[in-house]
A = this chain, B = another copy of it.
Amino acid sequence: VTQPRASVAVVGIGLVGGSLLRRLTAEGVVVVGYDADPATRAVARTAGARAERPGWTVAGSLGEAVHDVDLVVLAVPLPTLAEVLAALARCGYEGLLTDVTSVKVTPAALAREHCPRARWLGGHPMAGTERSGFEASTQGLFDGAAWVLCVERHTPSADVLAVVRLATTVGARVVPATAEEHDRAVARASHLPHLVAAALTSTAADGPDGALALTLGAGSFRDGTRVAATRPELTAAMCAANAAVLADALDQLRGRLARVGDALAGEDPVAALLPILGAAQRIRAAWPVTAGERVTVPVEMAALLALGRDGGWITGIADDAGTLLAVRPRSAAEQ
């Protein structure tokens, strides 16, 4: 039996890469995986052989994985990205290349430097758990998740369509943004919550009442600190890669906490806290952002970026492939 030609290669098969193998296979996309770690390759190969037919295959080398595919997805940790890009260039890969790392300015620069002949279109699925590795991968990881697509003014439409197809096939909704917009937004939506979770955890455990405080921790502590259990190397690499932008976001947060401290120290803490808490409550009660008006958007970079900036997202590709199906966020007035 000849294995049909794979159209997508997934390089790095941990939580995200493994989940891509599982879901793409389930959706009928023929996909090949590769990981630098032989043990991970062996586990993923065994799981692929057991998967519903046709299962994914796992290549024995990077060159074998990418030699005849239309799209390579780099699902490797950010600290190894430069090295993997250089290896891809040595393999002669010149096709479309995307990634899933949690920052977007740095990977774009690394791709230009280390693999300049491939066409780079950075991506970031906002999906994950505090667990990691192929063992944690699941078919449903991307269901409903935002998948950022970092387009630039001259990104070819066909490349946009290819990555939109990948992301929507695995259940995600695609949010267009520039790499700079992405990095500023995720600093506040994702990186900052990780740093705060760590600081909250250590503050609770501090001092002579630390054991009592941890025993008393309930829902607000559980949820507010959950991602502090993430592997420190992953969080450190993610935050360090966005350090300057994240430091600005942290300054904003510290400014807000200073005002909270002033409110607590003032004459009437209830009155001083109410507007601070009320503003946050209105924002959080309207979250998550839900789908509002359905629209179509041309595969045109300015229009796509305007959609993302407004908080909208792409849900699919129209039949003629000349336009994208999209939604605008439901406004507060519509809720």
In chain B, what residue has the closest Cβ to A79? B270
In chain B, what residue has the closest Cβ to A199? B256
Of the candidate stretches A28-36, A108-116, A154-162, A282-290, the one touching chain B is A282-290
A331 to chain B, nearest CB (A): 10
Residue with the highest number of chain B CB atoms closer than 10 Å, among A126, A182, A252, A280: A280
Chain B residues positioned under 8 Å from A127 (CB to CB): 218-219
Known: A227-B220, A250-B261. A197 touches B280 (CB 8 A): yes
A177 at the B interface (CB under 8 A): yes
Which one, B239, B253, B278, contacts A273 given CB within 8 A? B239
A189 at the B interface (CB under 8 A): yes
A contacts with B: majority SS: helix
Of the candidate stretches A16-24, A89-97, A207-215, the one touching chain B is A207-215
Which one, B221, B250, B313, contacts A189 given CB within 8 A? B221
Residue with the highest number of chain B CB atoms closer than 10 Å, among A209, A260, A283, A312: A209
Known: A206-B252, A311-B214. A239 touches B269 (CB 8 A): yes
Residue with the highest number of chain B CB atoms closer than 10 Å, among A129, A200, A246, A252: A200
Q: Which of A223-257 contact B (CB under 8 A)?
A: 223-233, 235-237, 239-240, 243-244, 246-247, 249-254, 256-257
Known: A175-B212, A190-B216. A239 touches B221 (CB 8 A): no
Contact with B along A150-185 (1 / 0, CB 8 A): 000000000000000000000000010100011011
A175 touches B216 (CB 8 A): yes
A232 touches B274 (CB 8 A): yes
Chain B residues positioned under 8 Å from A260 (CB to CB): 195, 198-199, 250
A205 to chain B, nearest CB (A): 5
A224 touches B193 (CB 8 A): yes
Can you show 23 pairs from A to B with CB atoms below 8 A apart? A128-B218, A129-B219, A189-B217, A189-B218, A192-B203, A195-B260, A199-B253, A199-B256, A202-B283, A203-B256, A211-B310, A212-B311, A214-B283, A214-B289, A215-B289, A217-B287, A217-B288, A233-B274, A236-B270, A236-B274, A247-B261, A247-B265, A254-B254
| Among all A-B residue pairs, the 7 with the closest Cβ atoms | A211-B311, A198-B280, A240-B269, A193-B224, A232-B277, A126-B218, A223-B223
Chain A residues within 8 Å of B, Cβ to Cβ: 126-129, 145-146, 148, 175, 177, 181-182, 184-186, 188-190, 192-209, 211-233, 235-237, 239-240, 243-244, 246-247, 249-254, 256-258, 260-261, 264-265, 269-270, 273-274, 276-281, 283-285, 287-289, 308-313, 329
